[in-house]
Amino acid sequence: MKRITRKFEFDSGHRVMRHESKCRNIHGHRYVAEITVQSEELDELGRVVDFGVLKKVIGSWIDTYLDHCYIANPKDPAISLLVTEDWKFYTMPQCRPNPTAENLAEELGVRSIELLDGTGLEVYSVRLFETPNCWADWGNQNARD
């Protein structure tokens, strides 16, 4: 397998409901996501895929849904204010509701799989930095090595 990784950066706010410390409060991060895709064969130019394809497909999804928004647990009472004020927000799925780095890494992985369906590319992993010193890794259990 041949692999490449594309880095994406975005700014979002969130809070971790029921957190035992200050992260239960609304705050923001400059997230950095490293998304690795793979293919068995290289294209005629010797690439897994042009990096611009990942920017266009995955980057545009990130810009549309996650950049400069509030990432919400579906049970977060702040959602009613966000709706009232017509502020941008993204609601996490019920299966991984709290917008922790771990859950966001998985959400990016699952969404990337959906976005790249039919392209011949396989999402291998996601590394999501919440801060320069703290990150979460997600690996696609269905990916081939």
Q: Annotated catalytic sites, by residue?
A: 23, 68, 130
Contact yes or no for 107/50 (Cβ under 8 A): no
Contact yes or no for 36/30 (Cβ under 8 A): no
- Distance from C-alpha of 17 to C-alpha of 61, rounded to nearest angstrom: 25
Which residues have a Cβ under 8 Å from the Cβ of 66 and sit 6 or more positions away? 10, 12, 31, 90
CA distances from 93 to 73, 105, 128 (A): 8, 13, 18
> Residue 36: in which H helix or E strand, if any?
strand 27-39
User: Which pair of tokens denotes residue 59?
Assistant: 């980057």
